[in-house]
Amino acid sequence: MNPIKTYCKENSTLLFSIVIPFLSLGGYILHQNKINKKQEKHIENINKIRQEELNNLKEIHRQEIKNCERQIMELNIKLQLLTSDNTNL
């Protein structure tokens, strides 16, 4: 008889309890590693997009702050003009 077949018949419990689950686990781990490597690129791209969005939002808020500061300065000038007119009367 074939030595492999006799070994399998004699040690079938060893095969089913240790070897086959170990091979399945190894295959699963290799598969997960491949998936993780593929996802790393996508994660990097998503992080870049998020960073760009944050930078765009920061720039928009900076512009809004500058506009508000300009409006405050204009209102202060108007107030000064109005109060100076009242004191001259």
Domain ranges, residue 15: 3-88
Tens digit of pLDDT for each residue in 60-70? 999 999 999 99
Cα angle 34, 35, 40 (rounded to 5 degrees) comes to: 100
Q: CB-based burial of residue 1 (10 Å sphere; 0-12 exposed, 13-18 middle, 19+ buried)?
A: exposed
Q: For 18, which DSSP code?
A: I
Please determine, for residue 22, whether its predicted confidence score (pLDDT) is greater than 70: no
Which pTM was predicted?
0.51
Mean pLDDT of the chain: 83
Q: How far apart are CA 70 and CA 79, in angstroms?
A: 14
Cβ 15 vs Cβ 8: under 8 Å? yes
Number of domains in the chain: 1
